[in-house]
Amino acid sequence: MKINTDKLLMIPGPTMVPAEVLNAMALPIIGHRTAEFGELLVDTTEKMKKVFQTKNDTYIITGSGTAAMDMAILNVIDKGDKVLNIVNGNFGERFAKITLAHKGESIKLENEWGDIAEPEAVKELLDKHDDIKAVTVVHNETSTGVKNPIEEIGKIVKDYDALYIVDTVSSLGGDYVDVDKFNIDICVTGSQKCLAAPPGLSAITVSEKAWEVIEKTEKKSLYLDLREYKKRYDEKKQTPYTPAVSLIYALNVALDLVLEEGLENRFKRHEKLARATRAGLEAMGIELFAKERARSVTVTSAYLPEGVEDKEFRGLLSKKYNVVIAGGQAHLSGKIFRIGHMGTAKEVHILATLGAIEMALKDLGVKVEGSGVEAAKEILME
């Protein structure tokens, strides 16, 4: 099968992966029960802790971000336990589904898709249900291009017995996340988004407060049992089951690149690319989907112009202009499109994407109000 490798990947993950990260996967396979692999695992884990900004126990999992989400829930709840699931997008809803899958009681805090979760509403529900065991929230909802106020929510949850569980799959390494400062008990992320590594790995951090709950919780999984990860790592610097050695090579190099750029510099770059993308779309007369106060710095969501069919528009972008963007999910399918600007995304990628969108819309007979490229350039040249 022939794959076109010339396409510009501007979806909300997986993202473009630097050559040196890809090249790392060509290193020889080593035994995962050797001291050599142990050194690699410890080195990669310590770098991951720096990106999480935590002193908490941290583990690398061979499995996608959903595996880490599943791990976060199943290790802390028993049948009938209440979990407050904050939902304002597809991945917040996924936490609720995982809660139900493990026989927990999901108490949903439903929010408008396209707007933030209100911290005060979290407090009201915690006051109403004094037996809530955990609170889940997605920092960056890629399904809607919304960033939730996880620091503010963390300040509220810390005053209750509930554990605070946060999904930073599409924000860690691209937006400000400080696990310890934000009082996060369990934080999960994935390799293929802002970290710009290949898909297939996830990571999880666990606080002392979370460990106290985990030790009292019934074992419900073999592969995703956090106690097994802790035991094997503490005793032998290994994973309990066979890890994806080549992916860990790649993640190690990807984390080097993140730390070399510096977290603050990385946050500023993502923020500027987001502003440029939004300005470019609005200059063309395209309405943004996420409310202004809620807009992500790693994903931009926008309504499809009137009369434009989603598959035709994105198909034209991909086939004619070699630019790949994403459509909407769930009830937003066919209504919005999403642009990912995370990981190693640069100014030129934003300009190329906006230029391709403008040309594709003109091909489809849509009147474009102004130049998206020129509007973005003003911000990128600041």
CATH, residue 234: 3.40.640.10
Report DSSP state, residue 178: -
246 and 311 assigned to the same domain? no
CATH code of the domain covering residue 278: 3.90.1150.10
Residue 182 is predicted with a pLDDT of 98
Q: What confidence score (pLDDT) does residue 28 get? A: 97
155 & 101 share domain: yes
Whether cis (ω within 30° of 0) applies to the bond prior to 14 is yes
Q: Which domain holds residue 176?
A: 21-260
Tokens 């908490």 sit on residue: 56
pLDDT at residue 6 in the model: 85
Contact residues for 6 (Cβ-Cβ < 8 A; gap 6+): 322
Three-state DSSP class for residue 167: strand
> What is residue 118's DSSP assignment?
P
Global pTM reads 0.97
Give domain status of residue 118, yes or no. yes
Which tens digits make up the pLDDT trace of 203-221?
999 999 999 999 999 999 9
User: Is the residue at 155 inside a domain?
Assistant: yes
Q: Are residues 99 and 209 in the same domain?
A: yes
User: What is the pLDDT at residue 235?
Assistant: 97
Q: Answer yes or no: is 2 within a domain.
A: no
Dump pLDDT digits (tens) for 98-129.
Answer: 999 999 999 999 999 999 999 999 999 999 99
Instruction: Tell me the one-letter amino acid at 262.
Output: G
Of 220, 236, 260, the residue at which a domain comes to its end is: 260
Residue 87 shares a structural domain with residue 57: yes
Same domain for 342 and 200: no
Residue 83 near residue 114, CB atoms below 8 Å: no
Tell me if 3 is assigned to some domain: no
Of 225, 244, 260, the residue at which a domain comes to its end is 260
From the centroid of its chain, how far is CA 331?
21
Sequence length of the chain is 382
Question: Same domain, yes or no, for 229 and 289?
Answer: no
Do 253 and 307 share a structural domain?
no
Query: Are 252 and 106 in the same domain?
Result: yes
**Of the residues 260, 280, 301, the one at which a domain ends:** 260
Residue 198 lies in a domain: yes
Q: Are residues 211 and 65 in the same domain?
A: yes
Residue 190 belongs to a domain: yes
Residue ranges in the chain modelled with pLDDT below 70:
none
Residue 175 lies in a domain: yes
Q: 110 and 247 share a domain?
A: yes
What is the tally of structural domains in the chain? Answer: 2
pLDDT given at position 5: 77
